[in-house]
Every structure is written in C-alpha cells, then in structure tokens.
C-alpha cells in the first residue's frame, strides 16, 4: 500500500538567536514540496509573535512551548490517521514537540533518534549559557531539563543509548558531560570524513534494529561551501553526498517513522540557491520513502 504523508509546520525561530527560519515551510511548499511527497496533507501553523518576557535562562519560553505543544498535537493527529509526518521547522527547538508526540505514540523506550546536525543540542536549562532553547531540545527529550520544558503531560524520557549524533562539530563544553551521562553516541563530522561515512553507519545501523526511528536533519550540518542559508555557518561540515548517504542509509532500514528538517532560513537565501539544494535533498528523501 502506498504510504501517505503529512507535511507539518513548526513555525518557530525564537528558540534560536536569529529570525527567519519560521518561513521555511512556506518557502518549501511554494517550491513544490507537497508534490514530492505525493500531494501530502498540509498542516500549516499560525506564526506566533515572540514573547517579550521569559524566565532567566529560557529565552522566549512561552512562544517556543506554544509552538511545540501545537506541533505535538499535529504530529499525533497525523500518526493517528496513519500518515508519515514530515516536520518542517523552524529552529531545532521544535524537536521537543516532535519527540513528545513520537514518545507518546510509540513509547520513548522504543524510539531511536538519528540527529544529523552540527550541534548536539543537549544543553540543559542549567548548563546553557545562551538560554536559547534550540540548544536544549534533546536534553528535554531525555528528561534532563526543568518541568517548564515538558511539552506533553509527561517528560519524554528518551533513552540516551538510542540517540545517535552524526556530523557534529560545535559542542559546548558542558554538553560533553551530558552526552556521556545520557549514554548517547557521538559521531563528529571529522570522524565521518576521516573514517568514512560507511564505517560510521556500520556502527549506527545495527543499533536501530527493533526501534521506531526518527531522523532529525539540521541543514547546518552541511559545509558552508555548499549551503549558507542558516543561522550557523561552521566550517568543515558534511558534503551534500555525505549527508544524503547518511539519510538514505537510515531510511533504507525501513524503520523510520518520521522525518524532520530544520533551520533553513529563506531570508538568507534571496537567490534561492540553497532552497534548490534543499529541495534536491528532500526529493532524494521522498523517493526513498515512497
């Protein structure tokens, strides 16, 4: 039976220091994204106004949590209809909403996350220096943050051993301790390029057996020589073929239950060069999923 998809918007950018990524969904839909996913159901979201006050250490908390709660409901609705959610952010704080829905639907202990990103995003509210929530989403999903960062009725409590980072090259010093505490698996961009992408995948793929797998793809994992329309341009990132190989290998397991793409900022892409690049990557993803 042919798979049906839901394109789910996560209209948030104030979890990060830069505005503009809240427009990614609109830009990709206009470029033809629904047709790639078989005329997928569209689940847009009203763009919220960033709140002006927030608790110390949790910038724009109210707005971020409002988006994540809406996103949780929308992802659960899509799953309940038997649709495969393709979440388009926004900044990576939206992963709290996605993972809350997936943990509730499948059980957190049954969920593995392949996190393709330049960052680990596993600061807690206590370790973060910036207070930007897009750097806390995985710590929140692992139940390591304060109650204010709980999206659903309960904390997700994702098991760290089921968390796999690929392409990392910017980690805050305290995050190394959180990664170790959680028991997560860290594969840097340098490792991918030194050992080779196949060697890294050979370690990750067997660990996904028996799990429902969520892919969270942050465009800042790509090297700035190939993609710049994002809030962070960090040298020595993955090439497009390397990133696509990772995504396709995980999709080839047949175990993925959802896909997330975040941090594309159309306001930084006037020529639409990076939009075309991203559409090419998403076309590759869609062809594998169909």
pLDDT by residue (tens digit) across 81-135? 999 999 999 999 999 999 999 999 999 999 999 999 999 999 999 999 999 999 9
Catalytic positions are 92, 117, 119, 121, 134, 218, 220, 263
Strand-pairing partners, residue 42, are 7
Whole-number Å distance between alpha carbons of 214 and 258: 5
Give the range of the structural domain holding residue 187, as residue numbers without chain letter: 5-289
- What span, in angstroms and rounded, lies between the C-alpha atoms of 233 and 223? 7
pTM, full prediction: 0.98
- State the average pLDDT over residues 186-210: 98
Contact 82, 4 (CB under 8 A): yes
Number of residues that this document lists for the chain: 290
Q: Give the model's pLDDT for residue 272.
A: 98
What share of the chain has pLDDT > 70, as a percent?
A: 100
Q: Which CATH number is 58's domain given? A: 3.40.800.10
276 vs 39, more confident: 276
How large is the angle between the packed helices 61-80 and 95-106, nearest 10 degrees?
Answer: 40
Q: What is the DSSP letter of 109?
A: G
Six-digit token string for 130 = 């910036």
Question: Mean pLDDT in the chain?
Answer: 97
Structure-token pair, residue 10: 């996560």
Contacts of 206 (CB under 8 A, 6+ apart): none
The pLDDT of residue 139 is above 70? yes
Taken in order 77, 87, 14, 55, the sign of the CA dihedral is positive
pLDDT band at 1 (very low <50, low <70, confident <90, very high): low
Nearest Cα to Cα of residue 65 among 85, 99, 93: 93
Instruction: Give the number of domains in the chain.
Output: 1
Say whether pLDDT at 6 is over 90: yes
Residue 14 pLDDT > 90, yes or no?
yes
Mean pLDDT across 186-197: 98
Question: How far, in whole angstroms, is CA 132 from its chain's centroid?
Answer: 15
- pLDDT tens-digit series, residues 25-81: 999 999 999 999 998 999 999 999 999 999 989 999 999 999 999 999 999 999 999
């Amino acid at each position: 039976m042919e798979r049906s998809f839901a394109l789910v918007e996560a209209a948030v950018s104030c979890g990060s220091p830069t505005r503009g990524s809240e427009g990614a969904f609109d830009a990709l839909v206009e470029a033809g994204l629904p047709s790639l996913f078989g005329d997928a159901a569209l689940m847009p979201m009203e763009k919220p106004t960033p709140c002006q006050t927030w608790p110390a250490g949790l910038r724009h908390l109210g707005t971020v949590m409002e988006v994540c709660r809406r996103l949780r409901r929308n992802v659960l609705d899509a799953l309940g209809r038997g649709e495969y959610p393709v979440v388009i952010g926004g900044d990576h704080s939206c992963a709290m909403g996605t993972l809350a829905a997936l943990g509730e639907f499948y059980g957190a202990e049954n969920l593995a996350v392949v996190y393709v990103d330049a960052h680990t995003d596993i600061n807690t509210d206590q370790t973060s220096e910036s207070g930007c929530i897009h750097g806390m989403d995985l710590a929140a999903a692992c139940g390591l943050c304060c109650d204010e960062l709980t999206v659903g009725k309960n904390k997700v409590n994702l098991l760290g051993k089921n968390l796999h980072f690929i392409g990392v090259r910017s980690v805050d010093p305290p995050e190394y301790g959180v990664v170790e505490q959680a028991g997560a698996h860290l594969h840097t961009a340098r490792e991918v390029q030194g050992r080779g992408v196949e060697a890294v995948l050979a370690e990750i793929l067997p660990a996904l057996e028996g799990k429902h797998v969520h892919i969270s793809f942050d465009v800042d994992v790509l090297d700035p020589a190939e993609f710049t329309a994002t809030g962070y341009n960090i040298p020595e990132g993955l090439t497009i073929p390397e990133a696509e190989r990772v995504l396709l290998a995980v999709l080839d397991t047949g175990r993925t239950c959802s896909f997330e793409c975040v941090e594309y900022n159309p306001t930084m892409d006037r020529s639409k060069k990076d939009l075309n690049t991203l559409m090419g990557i998403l076309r590759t993803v869609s062809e594998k999923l169909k």
